[in-house]
Amino acid sequence: MKRIIVLLTVLLMGFLCFGGISFGQAIENELYLITPVSKDVHDPALKAFAEYAKKKWNIDVKTSAIPKGTPVAYGQILEWKGRPQADVFWGGEGTLFDNLAAEGLLEQVKIPQKMWDEIPATIGKPVGLPLKDPKKFWVGTTLEPYGLIYQPKLLQRLGVTIKDWDDLLNPKLKGQIAQCTPDRSSSSHASYEVILAMYGWEKGWEWLKKLAANTGIFTARSRDVPNVVAKGEFAVGFAVPSYMAFAEVLAGYDVMFVYPSNAYVTPEPMAVLKGAPHPKAAHAFIEFLLTEEGQKLFAGLGLYPITPKFKVQGPPGSNLEKTVQFTAGIRSFYDIQVGNVYDDKIAGPKKRIEEVNSYFRKEIAEKHKEIIKEK
Amino acid sequence: MATPNESTMALSQPRVWARANIGGLLGYAAIWAFFAIFLIYPLIRLFYDAFTTDQGVFTLVNFYDFFTDSYYLKSLMNSLLLGVGTVITTSVLGIAIAFLLLRYEFPGRNLFSYLTIIPMIMPPLVGVMGFVFIMGRAGTVNVILMDYLGFSKPINFMYGIHGVLLVETLHLFPLMTLSIVDALGKIDPSLDEAAESIGSRGLRKFWDITFPLTTPGYVSGALLVFIWTFADFATPLVVGVDNLLASQAYLNIVQFVDRRLFKMGIVISAIMVILAIVFLIIAKQYVAIKDYSSLSYSKIERKKLSPWSRTGVLVFLVVVLVFAFIPYFGIALDSFGKGWALTPIPVKYTLRYFERVSIETPKFIINSLLYSGLTVFICIAVGVPVGWIMARTKVPGRDLLDSLTTLILALPGTGIGIAYLRAFREPLPFLNTALIGIWIVIPLVLGVRRLPYTVRGTFASLLIVHKSFEEAAESVGATKMTTFKDVTLPLIWKGVLVGSLYSFILALQEASATLLLVVPGHEMMTVGIFNFYIGGSVNEAAALGLILIILGAVCLFAISKIAGTKMGGVFG
């Protein structure tokens, strides 16, 4: 009897502590992200969510993002040890999310089953890139290819067209390519792995050395790549996330984007952290991003819907149509052949990452001048 | 940068001790505490980290790795070569301009002497950005060459180490001019005349008389130019040069993926600090004899020039200035131009970028002014007493204080930034946050870095004020405090103000230590410029850069009004 009373008291206290705070309210009035996704995207997403919450529940949600690079964000979440100061982790590689789930630091995503089912499990052949976690600990939010950006006016002058990877090796492009190094940029790293997977280790590096021979600048940060191309300083940029390239279009520059075969496509995974201070808002945020409204928002920023039923389509001259124009006609990644050779089992382990980085440093970065002279 | 001549110190030690009261001692102790906590401790911490493993075991492996890595060694070589190269180019320009301004009369001389100082106001990154807009592969010059003059390929002015050299030269030659003007200004013209009277003219006279007498000033200018170039990582990164020490230190520190690279970043910073100290010691060999007591400027007869040479001088100065002002044109155009690419000047113009960086996010400007203001406050609170101690007392430790202030001038910003990162990352007592998590760290590090200018300014002014004024006041019963307030301060305020304004301008522009130490949410203008730039918003970076340049120019104008031609003094 005594034991039951104790148990009941504990249950009641638990209920008061955890259930009581948001009792009767649809979502909490705060939401914090920790994310490597750039401000170009996370800012509009948070703003749109705040409007959505106001309309739907008449709640003013205060939102904020802690911008951190992927590894730093990951380290920070481990450091919080289940008492996070953010609600949602957004962006980066799926493996990191799997690791966090294994550590018990993620909560299962709560969205309507129909919405969940509408997202395909994987995209791309022969290796499927997972778009959601079968155990429901994370879900992809959008499709973001790491492709090539070019300056049409400069390419025309050079008499070059860019359709696929190999076009980058055209001798006419000597000194015209901008790229960031794989040890400073995750998009560059993933694209190096794609090349290595396509051609094999030896021939892949051969190819990458030829690319280096045409490379005029290794930028300090990946964000500089679309920047110098937009300005016309360099004609082509390698391994640029589509939204970064599109940000230049929105800023008034004339640039185009190419999605080359087998290019890496990230679903920008999202997960709710276990022990999140505002779990309901977190789940609502994910649900919002996967609605038509959310997917449209992404499409207006140079990203593609993750749900096959949505296509990028809007009134002429709208940002949605600009996205389509910018990729020379892609309206959905489910309409086109998506190849993928990037295998997380090969490219994911830390040892492999360091191996690629140090090979790059020894054989390309340190010998860049000689490579340019030889080729 | 020298131990002042002993003969200018008349106060003997016993008298100081006899008069020293508890307050004075406490003040002196406080100054030492400031130096110990904010300069000595971080540097020790940096070296500790460089010489130990992550577990805290002593090791030389880090240095072994550095000196056996061909890439790092090449970076070291490149950095040294770039530094020496910049010293040579700035010397040629700086000395020529200093001579012209000081020794010859020509129309617009006063205007030129102001304009040739201006290029110094160039926040890191802004200068190189401006150059790329005008002289990059798609810059104005190349677009004109290709679109109108039939060039098939752009000329590569910028990308590569020659671009860095160009930017640094046109940015730093005023430092050299100032040092030389200062040194030349102190040479008694009678020496010149004496040389001429015995038939020594032209190069011979320059070599025998002028050169030895200006050497101390020149060496200190050269050291500043060298260290500045040595520590700059922003400029090389924009033009795709990363095999330099400062760039390597920065890149290794800001990546968090590889612990080993992070450690090497610390090691590189430590090596940079060690090298800076070595250079300082070498430089000291040359400037130790420098005599501060002749700080009063001698009147110089300016020679009139023949019409032809006058034209030559004007053409030379105008050409140099056009080149030196290229970044200002570039920045101004880009801050108003929308979507500017592959046309000589922007096609569309907007005020949007200024609106965004000032009205929408006023924090950059507010924080910059606030932090630089606090920096000046720290500089005065610490620097004026230090200057006074050095000029008027012989307390033990005075020479060490002098060496430490000089050392600060030579310390690369990247090095001190990383030292702070390592030293102040533990939570403070009674608080949950570490010092590097609180914005006050910015004015503190800036205060330390800019302290020497106030110290020098105070010191130099005090030497001109004869002690007898103070002694007279004291003999009629004024306390030391009152004497200082009523007699000394009114006489030296100009020097202190000029030193402080320098500290202010240079604090506004600092972007090496602060870039590493900035606390999110408390960004200043330089950090804003950097963040906008790497975030892809070049126009906003340019707009913020232009505002910063204008602020700097206003301060510099104020200095030149207050100080007249004596601007060089603080750099001694």
- Which residue of A153, A220, A230 is in closest CB contact with B237? A220
Q: For residue A353, which residues of chain B lie inside 8 Å, CB to CB? A: 257
Q: How far is CA A175 from CA A211, A236, A307, in A?
A: 10, 10, 40
A233 to chain B, closest Cα gap in Å: 5
On whether any CB of chain A is under 8 Å from the CB of B348, the answer is yes
Q: What digits encode the pLDDT tens for the residues B394-437? A: 888 888 888 898 888 888 888 898 899 889 988 887 777 788 88
A253/B534 touch (CB, cutoff 8 Å), yes or no: no
pLDDT at A196 over 70: yes
* Inter-chain touch B535–A223, beta carbons under 8 Å: yes
Cβ–Cβ gap B71/A254 under 8 Å: no
| B255 has a pLDDT exceeding 80 | no
Instruction: Examine the pLDDT at B439 and tell me if it is beyond 60.
Output: yes
Which residues of chain A have a CB within 8 Å of the CB of B261? 183
pLDDT at A300 > cutoff 50: yes
Whether the Cβ atoms of residue B326 and residue B130 lie closer than 8 Å to each other? yes
Residue B14 lies in a domain: no
B56, part of any domain = yes
Q: Quote the pLDDT of residue A199.
A: 95
CA-CA distances (angstroms) from residue B401 to B270, B394, B396? 22, 11, 10
Is residue B2 in some structural domain?
A: no
Does residue B133 sit within a domain?
Answer: yes
* Rounded average pLDDT over A126-154: 95
The string of DSSP letters for B101-133 reads: HHHEE-TTHHHHHHHTTGGG---TTHHHHHHHH
Residue A307 has pLDDT above 90, yes or no: yes
Inter-chain CB pairs, A–B, below 8 Å = 84
pLDDT digits (tens, 9 = 90+) for B15-50: 444 455 777 888 899 999 999 999 999 999 999 999
pLDDT at A67: 78
**Cα–Cα dist B550/A102, whole Å:** 55
Q: Give residue-wise pLDDT tens across range B81-107.
A: 999 999 999 999 998 998 888 888 888
Kindly list the residues from chain B whose CB atom is less than 8 angstroms away from the CB atom of residue A235. Answer: none
Chain A residues whose C-beta is within 8 A of a chain B C-beta are: 38-40, 69, 71-72, 75, 151, 153-154, 175, 183-184, 216-221, 223-224, 226-227, 230-234, 244, 247-248, 251-254, 353-354, 357, 361, 365-366
**Local structure of A127: helix, strand or coil:** coil
Per-residue pLDDT band at B482 (split at 50, 70, 90): confident
Give the domains, in start order, of chain A with CATH numbers: 29-143+267-321 (3.40.190.10), 145-265+343-374 (3.40.190.10)
pLDDT, tens only, B333-370: 999 999 898 889 998 999 989 998 888 888 899 999 99
Q: Are B536 and A224 in contact (CB < 8 Å)?
A: yes
Nearest CA in chain B to A221: B534
Contact, A241 vs A327, CB < 8 A? no
* Yes or no, beta carbons of B339 and A251 under 8 Å apart: yes
pLDDT in tens, A78-98: 878 888 889 999 988 788 899
**Predicted model pTM:** 0.83
Determine, for residues A251 and B70 on separate chains, whether the beta-carbon distance falls below 8 Å: no
Contact across the interface for B251 and A184, Cβ inside 8 Å: yes
Q: Which residue has the higher pLDDT, B56 or A267?
A: A267
High-pLDDT (> 70) share of chain B, %: 91
Is pLDDT of B444 > 60? yes
Quote the number of domains for chain B.
Answer: 1
Task: Please give the mean pLDDT across all residues of chain A.
Answer: 90
- Is the pLDDT at A22 greater than 70? The verdict is no
In a domain, B490, yes or no: yes
Closest CA–CA distance from residue B534 to any residue of chain A (Å) = 6
Per-residue confidence band for A39, with pLDDT thresholds at 50, 70 and 90: confident
Check whether B227 has a pLDDT greater than 90.
Answer: no
Looking up residue B239, the CATH number of its domain turns out to be 1.10.3720.10
pLDDT tens digits along B384-394: 889 888 888 88
Question: In this predicted structure, what is the pLDDT of residue B571?
Answer: 37
Average pLDDT over all residues of chain B: 84
Measure CA of the first residue to CA of the last residue in chain A; give whole Å: 86
**What's the average model confidence in pLDDT over B138-144?**
92
In the block, which residue shows the tokens 């020490």?
B245
pLDDT of res. A18: 47
Residue among B156, B240, B338 whose CB faces A218 most closely: B240
Q: Hey, is the C-beta of B251 within 8 angstroms of any chain A C-beta?
A: yes
Measured between CA atoms, how close is B52 to chain A, in angstroms? 23
CA distances from B572 to B87, B220, B221, B499 (A): 17, 6, 8, 12
CB-CB neighbors (< 8 A) of B352 in chain A: none
pLDDT at site B564: 60
A94-102 and A70-80 helices, crossing angle to 10°: 10
Is A151 in contact with B348 (Cβ distance < 8 A)? no
- Burial class of residue B199, CB neighbours in 10 A (0-12, 13-18, 19+): exposed
Q: What is the least distance, in Å, from the CA of B74 to any CA of chain A?
A: 9
Written as six digits, the tokens of B490 are: 């009114």
Q: Which residue has the higher pLDDT, A69 or B164?
A: B164
Note whether B536 contacts A244, CB cutoff 8 Å.
yes
Instruction: Note down the domain range covering B331.
Output: 22-571
The Cα-based distances of B332 to A149, B138, B150, B527 in angstroms read 27, 17, 28, 19
CB B331 within 8 A of CB B129: yes
Cβ atoms of B35 and B404 within 8 Å: the answer is yes
Give the DSSP letter string of B12-77. -HHHHHHH--HHHHHHHHHHHHHHIIIIIHHHHHHHHHHTB-TT--B-SHHHHHHHH-HHHHHHHH
Contact indicator for A176, A158 with CB cutoff of 8 Å: yes
Chain A residue with Cα closest to B75: A366
Whether B4 is covered by a domain: the verdict is no
Residue percentage of chain B with pLDDT more than 90: 35
Residue numbers in B near A151 (CB within 8 A): 341-342
- Neighboring chain B residues of A69 at a CB cutoff of 8 Å: 256
Cβ distance B159 to A217 less than 8 Å, yes or no, reads yes
Q: Is B13 domain-assigned?
A: no
In chain B, positions 148-167, which contact chain A (CB-CB < 8 Å)? 156, 159
Output A218 or B258, whichever has higher pLDDT: A218
Chain B hits for A230, CB-CB cut-off 8 Å, are 341
Give B534's Cβ-side CA count (13 Å radius): 17
